[in-house]
Structure 1
Amino acid sequence: MSLSPLERLNFSEPRQLSAAEVRHLQRWQTNTCERITEAWGGLLFAPVGLVAGVIEPAHYRGALKSLPDPGIGVVLEVGDELIPTLLAVPSRLALGLLNQMLGPAEGEWPRERSLSPLEETLFATLVHEVSESISDGWPGIERLRVQLLESCRPRRCRRLPAESELVRCRWEITSGCGAESVDWLLPRASLEQLLETEEFTPVAADHQTDLEAIVLSLPVELSAQLGQTRLTMAELADIAAGDVLLLDQSVDRPLPLSVDGSVHWKGSACRVGPRQALQITAIVDVNGRTRQ
């Protein structure tokens, strides 16, 4: 008996999130990004694209070290237990969004600098919509409690539990200035407890129905093969109108009907009015077996 090779384990890496955790977090992040996009649409002169990106576990030190610097950190407390989380926004992205609040802005990113008092007030308006979207986007039965705590430099934040495992959720943003990303760090242990105790709403059936309807309405091209033959180059050059080519297909054998080169049915040639047709006589399964 042969033994399978041992999988190399890296104990320095945090363990992966469970499938259920990833599913709930993806739904939460997708809902949140959709709501932020809608809310910011009423504040910005030009729309921005915002989609949920990677969701992954991370160590405390490595996660903070990867945050933008300079950048703007926003501490948000979520849930009834007021779990501290950190939203890290690159400075140039914040300035680019603020420019979009004042008028159409495209081209290069603004030069990175500190926000003025007026800009801080305007940025707080954008962040407020983010906190509302996080609350509304929570896939639980009730809205999730979310409150803004403070702003800070992302790498100097001390609100997250030190030396703990975190979960990093990344949002990808595209604007007239280019693409950027925002990182949202959440304490893993507290987040897992929140996910375990929360009752989630089922995925709306109408969304699945709509998706099925779209898939079922997609056009698919079918092709029937009449047969094949082989000629020399000289014979091919001599073909003229009125010539009859002898194919390898017998007249009493059903013709194969294919989708993307894969045979799914067999049938007999027939006629419907002025058009040629194919009457299905057998179905071909994935193993090539036919059934009437």
Structure 2
Amino acid sequence: MSNNISIDQPVIEPADFDKPRRPKQVLFKMLNQWLAETAARVTESWMSVCTHRIQLGAQSIEIVGDESARKSLPEEGYAIAISIGPEESTGFLCVEKTQLWMLLADLLDLNPDALPHDRSPTQTERSMLEILIEMYVSGLAAAWPGRGDLTCRFEELIERPHRKRISTAHSTWIKGTQTVTSRFGISEIFWLFPNSPIEEIVEDSVDSGTSSGSFTAGSLVHITEQIPFVVTVELGELSLSMTEITDLNIGDILLLDQSVHQPLSARIQGQNKWKGRPVRRGHQLAFQVSEVVSTPARSDILPLGQTD
């Protein structure tokens, strides 16, 4: 008696030496940047309309298989269908039902105890939720780390996607997880974007900025424009002796050299760039620019030690 054992042969894709695939590190670097920038942009957008503080944060990027993608669809939640890229590939932003009610509560300043978790949103409530969804999709498009915005469009809000036969005809998916911190606590939402179309967009984005392995002038300008700079807004200065410093305690007031009628200065790397005044945006302190400080031309800069 013989036992027949069937072993599936691995599928070996032919190598394309004319267009080799870039290392996965390039893909993950851009995806992580996209996830983080989307969180920052959506936080700013949602805070402009919500009555309570809400903040999104980037948590993780991973590549999952089709079966894992299907199982991760929320059973009692929603899948927000989004068309992505020039080929309009469909991806999903997945949220639990309670998370949508929390967003609606922060949008309308509702009492948390009055949230109707046991029913679906009415048409009016769905319309209001779609305002926040459109804001998210706009932030997703603008946050794309490649050249220009990525085409993204909100398609539909799908209730209980786990029970519906949503097409996931892709072998692998990009699962990007973000945290949502609000007055209700910390929860998670996540992307399910088809891997192959996104990887092709990344390839095209990287290839458009390089030529024969070297950067073009345009790509260098683009990279330079993405370099972050720390902007410091100075409230004022004062001098204290060591005794005064050690004696400082909670409730003590420090008198600064800045008059309340004088504009504040905003600096980059120690150089004055703008003058303005402090303002408030939602729950955050902000700085409104009232004057741009002109930078002296190179001919106006004297060598060290030289005077007029």
TM superposition score normalised by structure 1: 0.61
1:119 is displaced (CA, Å) by: 1.0
CA contact (8 A) 1:107 1:177 kept: no
> Is 1:78 paired with 2:78?
no
1:152-189: CA deviation from partner (whole Å, max 9, x where unpaired): 13324655442521110011101111111111101111
Check if 1:121 corresponds to 2:127. Answer: yes
Rg larger for: 1
Alignment match of 1:210 (pick from 208, 230, 233): 230
Residues 1-292 of structure 1 mapped to structure 2, 5 A cutoff: 18-103=24-109, 105=111, 111-152=117-158, 153-156=160-163, 158=165, 160-162=167-169, 164-199=171-206, 201-202=222-223, 204=225, 206-207=227-228, 210=230
What is the CA-CA distance between 1:68 and the residue it aligns to? 2.1
CA RMSD of aligned residues (A): 2.5
Q: Does the CA contact (< 8 Å) of 2:75 and 2:163 recur in 1?
A: no
Q: Tell me the residue number matched to 2:273.
A: none
Letter in 1 for 2:94: A
Secondary structure of the structure 1 residue equivalent to 2:223: coil
Paired letter, 2:205: E
Q: Which consecutive unaligned segments of at least 5 residues does structure 1 have?
A: 1-10, 12-16, 212-292
Q: Is the 8 A contact 1:160 1:187 kept in 2?
A: no
- For residues 137 and 181 of structure 1, the distance between their equivalents in structure 2, rounded to whole angstroms, comes to 19
Shift, 1:39, TM fit: 0.5
> Is the partner of 1:29 in helix, strand or coil?
helix
Q: How far off is 1:64 after superposition? A: 2.1
CA distance, structure 2, for counterparts of residue 45 and residue 25 of structure 1: 31
Task: Return the alpha-carbon distance in structure 2 between the equivalents of residues 32 and 55 of structure 1.
Answer: 13
Aligned residues: 195
Equivalent residue, structure 2, for 1:251: none
Contact 1:106–1:176 under 8 Å retained in 2: no
CA shift at 1:87, angstroms? 0.9
Contact kept? 1:109, 1:177, Cα under 8 Å: no
- CA drift of 1:69 comes to 1.8
Q: What TM-score results when the alignment is normalised by the length of structure 2?
A: 0.58
Secondary structure at the aligned position of 1:36 is classed as: helix
Aligned to 2:299: none
C-alpha distance in 1 between matches for 2:177 and 2:119: 23
Distance 1:203 1:92, change over 3 A: farther
Give me the whole-angstrom Cα distance separating, in 1, the residues matched to 2:112 and 2:84: 34
Structure 2 gap ranges (5+): 1-9, 11-22, 210-221, 232-308
CA spacing shift, 1:55–1:160, aligned 2, 3 Å: farther
Cα drift, residue 137 of structure 1? 0.5
Amino acid at match of 1:70: E
